[in-house]
């Protein structure tokens, strides 16, 4: 069995009709797992929305994941606070 440690996959969701438009959500999943072991970690996130009109014109609208940016900011501030706490003079 040839299983990779990290797998990245982008998938299209079910199309949704909105007036004369078709909206197709796109998501990306990142899977972490150890070969030979069951289970692992899967992280799904939205990537974009494809908008298709009746004439067949397609536009890709990116999805900005604000929650991820906030999580990174919280993690970064926690790391900075930890570095400051352990490196300050006593």
pLDDT digits (tens, 9 = 90+) for 4-24: 788 899 999 999 999 999 999
Contacts of 71 (CB under 8 A, 6+ apart): none
Per-residue pLDDT tens digits for 24-76: 999 999 988 877 777 788 888 889 999 999 998 999 999 988 888 999 999 99
pTM of the model: 0.65
- In the structure encoding, which two tokens stand for residue 62, read together? 């990116």
User: How many alpha carbons lie under 13 Å from residue 18 in its C-beta half-sphere?
Assistant: 11
Which is higher by pLDDT, 89 or 47?
47
């Amino acid at each position: 069995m040839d299983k990779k440690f990290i797998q990245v996959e982008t998938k299209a969701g079910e199309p949704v009709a909105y007036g004369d438009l078709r909206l197709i959500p796109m998501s990306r999943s990142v899977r972490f797992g150890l070969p030979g072991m069951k289970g692992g970690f899967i992280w799904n996130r939205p990537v974009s929305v494809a908008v298709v009109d009746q004439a067949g014109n397609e536009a890709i609208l990116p999805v900005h994941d604000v929650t991820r940016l906030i999580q990174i900011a919280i993690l970064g501030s926690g790391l900075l606070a930890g570095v400051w706490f352990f490196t300050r003079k006593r």
